[in-house]
């Protein structure tokens, strides 16, 4: 049983396009996150939602818009894609308690041409 | 600010060698500390964690001790295997900052037979 799933796994698109990445977790967690991993493998938080409410927005361009229809889903929509958006995007989930483990999805590899 | 610094890689070892990957942190509060591992083409998996000073996290032969006095959480394994080849990330989280993970830059480990 997949705990945190993401679709699609790979995304190749042209500059200027709009795309979405979907994330679902079946762990019953209240909190979900989006992280970006760049080409040097550095990981940085982008957004976090707790029970459908945005709680973290880390100076991400407003071309990126997260949406959480329910606490099991957190989607990421990106408008007007740029070359610099090429990265691996990871979704994660956890309970909102101190020291809780975050469980990561397999990642979505986005390549903007 | 809050940050994590890891020793730079790549680290190349022979099978059965001793492994140490250094990790130090700076935090404005009392963080929880984690080691995550990323195998090629996959998402991140929790390797071990510690939530208070002097706690030792351990899993699959890996260990790390939360040292508040030296703000460190070094990862060790007594005898590495080829299957341990991966990228290792040290990270901290602070509950009063939404629980986001702040990662070190990652250390790539390659174990040769």
Residue A52: per-residue pLDDT: 85
- At B97, the pLDDT band (50, 70, 90 cuts) reads confident
Residue B108: per-residue pLDDT: 96
- Token pair recorded at residue A95: 């309970």
Q: How many residues does chain A have?
A: 113
| Residue in chain B lying closest to A36 (CA) | B103
pLDDT higher than 80, residue A1:
no
Distance from CA of B70 to the nearest CA of A (A): 20
Q: Which of A107, A99, A85, A88 is nearest to A4 (CA)?
A: A107
pLDDT higher than 90, residue A21:
yes
Mean predicted confidence (pLDDT) in B4-18 = 94
Contacts of A62 (CB under 8 A, 6+ apart): none
Check CB contact under 8 Å for B87 and A41.
yes
- Which of B32, B87, B102 is opposite residue A98, by nearest beta carbon? B32
CA–CA dist A26, B76 (Å, integer): 33
Mean predicted confidence (pLDDT) in A65-83 = 95
- Token pair recorded at residue A61: 């361009």
CA–CA dist A108, A90 (Å, integer): 7
- Which of B44, B98, B108 is opposite residue A56, by nearest beta carbon? B98
Q: Which of B8, B39, B33, B36 is nearest to B21 (CA)?
A: B8
Check CB contact under 8 Å for B98 and A55.
yes
Alpha-carbon Rg of chain A, whole angstroms?
13
- Token pair recorded at residue B41: 């083409």
> Do the Cβ atoms of A84 and A97 come closer than 8 Å?
no
- At A59, the pLDDT band (50, 70, 90 cuts) reads confident
Residue B29: per-residue pLDDT: 86
- What is the per-residue burial (b if ≥16 Cβ within 10 Å, else e) of A7-18? eeeebebeeeee
**A59 vs A23, higher pLDDT:** A23
Q: Is A1 helix (H, G, I), strand (E, B) or coil?
A: coil
Digit-coded pLDDT (tens) for B27-41: 988 999 999 999 988
Mean predicted confidence (pLDDT) in B53-68 = 97
Check CB contact under 8 Å for A40 and B105.
yes
Digit-coded pLDDT (tens) for A8-18: 999 999 999 99
- What is the per-residue burial (b if ≥16 Cβ within 10 Å, else e) of B66-80? beeeebbbbbebeeb
- Token pair recorded at residue A39: 């080409």
């Amino acid at each position: 049983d997949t705990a945190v799933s993401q679709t699609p796994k790979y995304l190749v698109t042209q500059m200027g396009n709009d795309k979405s990445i979907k994330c679902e977790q079946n762990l019953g967690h209240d909190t979900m996150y989006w992280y970006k991993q760049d080409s040097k493998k550095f990981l940085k938080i982008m957004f976090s939602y707790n029970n459908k409410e945005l709680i973290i927005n880390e100076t991400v361009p407003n071309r990126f818009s997260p949406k959480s229809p329910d606490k099991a889903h957190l989607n990421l929509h990106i408008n007007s894609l740029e070359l610099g958006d090429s990265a691996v995007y990871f979704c994660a989930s956890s309970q909102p308690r101190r020291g809780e483990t975050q469980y990561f999805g397999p990642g979505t590899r986005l390549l903007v041409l | 600010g809050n940050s994590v610094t890891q020793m730079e890689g790549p680290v190349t070892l022979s099978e059965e060698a001793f492994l140490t990957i250094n990790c130090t942190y700076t935090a404005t509060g009392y963080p929880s500390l984690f080691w995550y591992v990323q195998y090629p083409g996959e998402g991140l998996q929790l390797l071990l964690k510690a939530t208070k000073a002097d706690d030792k996290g351990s899993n699959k032969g890996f260990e790390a001790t939360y040292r508040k006095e030296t703000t460190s959480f070094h990862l060790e394994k007594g005898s590495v295997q080829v299957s341990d080849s991966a990228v290792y990330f040290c990270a901290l989280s602070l509950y009063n900052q939404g629980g986001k993970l702040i990662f070190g830059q990652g250390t790539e480990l390659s174990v040769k037979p």
